[in-house]
Structure 1
Amino acid sequence: MVVGNPNFVPIVVSAELGTGHARVLLTAEDAARRSLASPDLSLRAGFYDLAASVETPTSRVEATFRWLIPDERGIYVAYTDFTHAGDWGVEVTTHATGQADRTGRVTFSVREQTTTPAIGDDAPASDTLSASDAAGLRAISTDDDPDPAFYRLSIRDAIAAGMPFVIVFANPAQCASRTCGPALDLVKEVAPTYEGRVNFIHVEPWSSRRSMPTANGWSSRRSTNGACPPSRTSSSWTAMARLRRSSRARPIPTS
């Protein structure tokens, strides 16, 4: 539920939030659903435990702006702690030079356990699809210009290799949010910098009318029409993992 100015709609972009230290993705839209996120617009977030008080926040934080697609679409990142599962709220206030501040509130739910791996959880050793030639790449990737290195290893192989790795879950050809392709392209651009130190993997989470077995270990969200879920940004996501002494991968936080 959103409370406040109908021309200023705060949005919790994070598809799922769990108890503990959390990375919360936020944005705001106008009445026409146009994004207001901009590097020139600062955003402050106050988080409320609705079971305790709707007047006193548990924390107030200055969110950090990040580009999702450079110079085209952005988002805000805030960190807070959720002490328990249940109903929570966030009050979003934006500020820009020469403009009046705008404030709105929105409620959301926090889960005791999330269906996706949390920061610090063991990474599921999924048997993702791999390929070694052009025909194989076309069969498992909808990327117009796939980088063969992104399909050389499965997630299980990457864990066994003992090297940090980055996984991009994206479906460029069918993405509803229009971020899958650009997100994958951005990772492909930086990959050469880490050659020999970090492995990179692209996984198509949606195949035909079913989620691929690969993605099932990482998220329970499924498509209903063969495309990515109709969310604003969550149809593309990237996980980074490092190896512990036990040789099991753990996701590490990103800003």
Structure 2
Amino acid sequence: MPRSRAARRLPTLLCALAVPLLLAAGCGSSGSSSSDTPAAQPAPTATAEDFPMATGRTLPDIINGLPKGPVFAPSVSLLTKGTNRIGFALFDTARKQLSGAAVALYIGKTDGSDARGPFVARSESLKVSPQFESKQTATDPDAAHGVYVADVPFPRNGSYAVLAVAKLDGRLVASSPYGMKVGGKAAAVPGPGDKAPVIHTLTPADVAGDLSKIDTRLPPAESLLKDDFADVVGKKPVVLTFATPQLCQSRVCGPVVDVVDEVQAKVGDKVSFIHQEIYRDNDVSKGLRPQLGPYHLQTEPWTFVIDRKGIISTRFEGAFSPASSSGPSRR
């Protein structure tokens, strides 16, 4: 996701997101490649030497003899040729999320050949200051509190098998391969370098002050509802987040909106932060809101960082932490 790279290291995770988001939205270039070098990131969970090397091997070769490990659950659905930021979670058989493990991803063809890796993941916290934590995040035992992220280069479009190898209790274990497709429908969702589709996002004035009609978060994030996207795009930098904290299928919308709300408090009015709900009348049975149509979105959450010229400079699918925005770009 191309953007300006003047980011500075700052002492907190909040600043680590706030500064790159501000720079991405307001500082110009949106044409750099998808393999840009990260400016600042959380440390990897391990080193490549801690995992089997894939050179000259197949995926079955790599995991042969390894005990069956946790379930690999990616939070991204759209991948493109080149380096992709893959956020994912690991779950045990009781569906409990596992955190703090050393983890690496491997990819290969669907028959297991042409294995590549390890691509060592980093562990990123979704925790925010207490005053920015929603009721959904605080009370949902299944809400995500962290995300693993690996930067994985896919050499070509097509179908791939992706698996995770983790070190748990001092031993390596492997997930089952997970099918992921690179290319195809990914081109429909606007990305870095594209002009952001102009949509009207509802504000309190449109619903007679009843924020529950435009925000399922408890309490509503008022700072993310005050601007209509159509009124501010092309005039100032914008961070536009499509998410539904109460109705999210992936269980990460609440934490993501919490993160955005905290960053907005840090950045202030220099950037317009907007939260857009997903379902008509906040009712899943009524289908998607019309605002999602121009962006060709079928999943949630998504966050787009848009510069002052109205050009998308960065996009995130799924969960991202306060440190994620300093990772490599992905179109």
Match for residue 118 of structure 2 among 37, 56, 60: 60
Instruction: Report deviation, 1:107.
Output: 2.3
- CA 185–91 in structure 1, closer or farther in 2 if over 3 Å, else same: closer
Instruction: Tell me the distance in 1 between the aligned counterparts of 2:233 and 2:154.
Output: 30
Instruction: Report deviation, 1:241.
Output: 2.1
Instruction: Report deviation, 1:211.
Output: 0.7
SS in 2 for 1:196: helix
Q: Find the counterpart in structure 2 of residue 101 from structure 1.
A: 172
Per-residue CA deviation, residues 148-180 of structure 1 (Å, 9 max, x unaligned), is: 33222222223132x222122222232344332
State the structure with bigger RCO (CA 8 A, min sep 6), 1 or 2. Answer: 2
Instruction: Tell me the distance in 1 between the aligned counterparts of 2:212 and 2:263.
Output: 23
Instruction: Report deviation, 1:137.
Output: 2.8
The structure richer in strand per residue is 1
Structure 1 contact 242–252 (Cα < 8 Å) conserved: no
1:142 and 2:216 equivalent? yes
1:110 and 2:172 equivalent? no
Structure 2 contact 107–161 (Cα < 8 Å) conserved: yes
Instruction: Report deviation, 1:10.
Output: 2.1
Instruction: Tell me the distance in 1 between the aligned counterparts of 2:193 and 2:103.
Output: 28
Instruction: Tell me the distance in 2 between the aligned counterparts of 1:56 and 1:144.
Output: 45
One-letter amino acid matched to 2:211: L
Instruction: Tell me the distance in 2 between the aligned counterparts of 1:143 and 1:28.
Output: 26
Please report the RMSD computed on the Cα atoms of aligned residues, expressed in angstroms. 2.9
TM-score (norm 2): 0.61
Structure 2 contact 215–221 (Cα < 8 Å) conserved: no
Match for residue 227 of structure 2 among 148, 153, 156: 153
The structure richer in helix per residue is 2
1:70-109 to 2 correspondence within 5 Å?
A: 73-96=145-168, 98-104=169-175, 105-109=177-181
One-letter amino acid matched to 1:181: G
- CA 216–69 in structure 1, closer or farther in 2 if over 3 Å, else same: farther
Report how many aligned residue pairs link the two structures. 233
Instruction: Tell me the distance in 2 between the aligned counterparts of 1:220 and 1:42.
Output: 32
Where structure 1 has 5 or more consecutive residues not aligned to the other structure, the ranges are 222-233
Instruction: Tell me the distance in 1 between the aligned counterparts of 2:297 and 2:79.
Output: 14
Per-residue CA deviation, residues 13-44 of structure 1 (Å, 9 max, x unaligned), is: 312222233111222222222222x1x31211
Structure 1 contact 19–81 (Cα < 8 Å) conserved: yes
Identity of aligned residues (%): 24
SS in 1 for 2:209: helix
Where structure 2 has 5 or more consecutive residues not aligned to the other structure, the ranges are 1-58, 129-142, 316-324
